[in-house]
Each structure stands twice: as C-alpha cells, then as structure tokens.
Amino acid sequence: MATMESPALPRSTGGFPGTGLTRSVSWVIVGLTCAFLISTYLSIWHGWPGALGGGLGTVQAGIYVLGIVGPIIFVARTDRGLRQDSQLLTNVVAYIIRTAFWAVVLIGLADMAISFLRVEALLGNVVGEEFATELSRSQFRGPYIHMPLLAVSFLIAAKTRTLGFPWLALLVVGAELLIVISRFIFSYEQAFQGDLVRFWYAGLFLFASAYTLFEDGHVRVDVLYSGFRPKTKGAVNAVGCLVMGVALCTVILTFGMWDKTSVITSPLLNYEVSQSGFGMYVKYLMAGFLGVFAVTMMIQFAAYLMDSIADFREEPGHRDTEAPMS
C-alpha cells in the first residue's frame, strides 16, 4: 500500500556547510504558503483589507512577517539534517493527502445517496419534507453535510498511515462499471452517477501528484538526466524545484485565490454546483481540489529541495527511486 516514508535517516547531518541556508529557504517557502492561506481566508471570508490595507491589514502583514521569521528562528534553534526536515514535511503532506482521500470517499458516497433519493422522489420520505428541501440547497448541504464529513476525515487520517490511492482508483472503476451496468442492462442513468466518477477521478489525480513527486515518478525528458551522476541530478532537481515547481504552485495559489471572483475562491464561497439537474453538489469542492494540489505540491517541493541539495552534497540517506533494469 502507498506510503510516504523514507528509510531510517541519520539523526543529524547539520554539520554540512549550507545546511542552515537550505533549511531556511525550504521552511520559509512553507511558512509563506501558510501565511498566504491564513491571510486569504481573513480577507475573503471575513472582509479584512489585506496586508497592504492598513488597520486589520497590519495583522495580516504581521502574519507574512511571521511566515518568514518563524521558520528562520526554528532553523537557528534546531540541529537537524536536510533529510530529517524533508521527511517531516513529507509526513505533513501525507496527512493532508490522507484527509483528502477520506473526504472525497465519505462526501462522495453521502452526496450520491442524497442525490439518488432526490431524483427518485424518496428523500422526503426518508428525512422529512422540510429537511429534504434544505438538502436541495447547496448552501445547506455544504456546511451541514460536507463539512462535518471533512472533520471526520481529519480524525480518520490521524489514525491511518496508508494513502489509499489504490482504493480510490478501485472506487472509480466500480463507479464506472455501475454506470455501464445501469445504462445497458436497466436503461437507467442519472447525472449524479457521472458526477461521482468525475469527483473521485479529479481527487485521485490531483491528490496523488505530491506522492508521485516523492517517488520521483512524474514524467520528465530524461535523455540527458538519466545519464547524470547523483550529484548532478541533485543540482538539476534543486533548480527545477525553485524555477518550475515552486513558481507553478505560486501562480496557481495567487491567481486561484486572489479575490472573491478567482477560480478557486469563487466556487468555494458560493457553494457552486453544476447545472445538471439532480446531480451532486460537489463542484465547489472540485475547485478546492486545485488548492489542495497546489499546497501539497508546494510543501513537497520544499521537501524535495532539501533532499536534492543533500544529494548534491552526497550526504548519507539517499533514497533510490529508480527501479533496476532487468
């Protein structure tokens, strides 16, 4: 089963020159990402003016300063190696991914059940007409059905260790199979069936991206790379993390969450749903998937940067992700 754990690492390799600088850069990336998310939440959901807006904006500016100073102080006061910090960040990403996996499974099943009962005019018989009317509104179903299930997902993720991608892939296949069977054998097909497949499919690919980076499994043009020494690969990967990886995630978060009309925040604010009749009310969550993708990839790129610099300096603890040729 998929996990994001490395072999046992040396307790500290902090004696290598430049360790503090590399750790500081990586942790500042994470700190600024957290500061951006907190500041964006305060601005968009609570109407704060922003870091440059004065008044409460001063607090938001302080959050960004803390996102820089806090990591630097942490690095200065701890004697840890690059691979140790890299594994710590990877563990954080793994927890976020486990939470996201359980969330899409639980919310998908619950919302599918509600949509099925609605389309068959059975929901009122099960929960009562008044509650059924409330469940027909995304502004009710989101906060009172989806959010509690998300909270449960956080708790389940804290008790589990596997990431669950094989199970989610199996659920996607099973949902597709049910569509085929119901369509061609029973001549029955509803919008919520396709919505469920798209919901799980989107989660599978966007949530698995950080794990794929951890396993060095993303597609790359390796005509030259495959022949490089580990030291050279480390240098190339470190530059790629900053120039391409962190930059891409920054663009997604900035343009996706810049204001209330952005492509991530707007659907989340309005609990946006598709216009497919009695389909599932999860479109707004799928917009949020892009945010989860960007955040997990940003943190994993910070971890990958430290691993890459450690490889460049030929520190112990290198994790070989390349399958041997047979």
What does 61-127 look like in DSSP terms, one character per residue?
A: HHHHHHHHHHHHHHHHH----HHHHHHHHHHHHHHHHHHHHHHHHHHHHHHHHHHHHHHTT-HHHHH
Tens-digit pLDDT profile for residues 69-128? 999 999 999 999 999 999 999 999 999 999 999 999 999 999 999 999 999 999 999 999
- Percentage of the chain lying above the pLDDT 70 cut: 91
Residue 163 has pLDDT above 80, yes or no: no
Are the beta carbons of 281 and 271 closer than 8 angstroms? yes
Task: Report, as an integer, the average pLDDT of 301-315.
Answer: 93
Residue 276: the pLDDT is: 63
Residue 90: the pLDDT is: 94
Are the beta carbons of 297 and 90 closer than 8 angstroms? no
Residue 161 has pLDDT above 60, yes or no: yes
Residue 7: the pLDDT is: 57
The confidence band for 323, taking pLDDT boundaries of 50, 70 and 90, is: very low
- Given the structure tokens 């990958």, which residue do they identify? 304
Q: What's the chain's average pLDDT?
A: 89
Gyration radius of the chain over CA positions? 22
Task: Report, as an integer, the average pLDDT of 152-163.
Answer: 91
- Percentage of the chain lying above the pLDDT 90 cut: 70
Q: List the domain boundaries for the chain.
A: 17-80, 82-312
The confidence band for 17, taking pLDDT boundaries of 50, 70 and 90, is: low
Task: Report, as an integer, the average pLDDT of 141-160.
Answer: 95
Closest CA to 249 of 280, 209, 220: 209
Task: Report, as an integer, the average pLDDT of 310-315.
Answer: 90
Tens-digit pLDDT profile for residues 177-215? 999 999 899 888 888 899 999 999 999 999 999 888 888
Task: Report, as an integer, the average pLDDT of 230-243.
Answer: 91
Residue 229: the pLDDT is: 87
Residue 300: the pLDDT is: 95
Residue 8 has pLDDT above 60, yes or no: no
Residue 326 has pLDDT above 90, yes or no: no
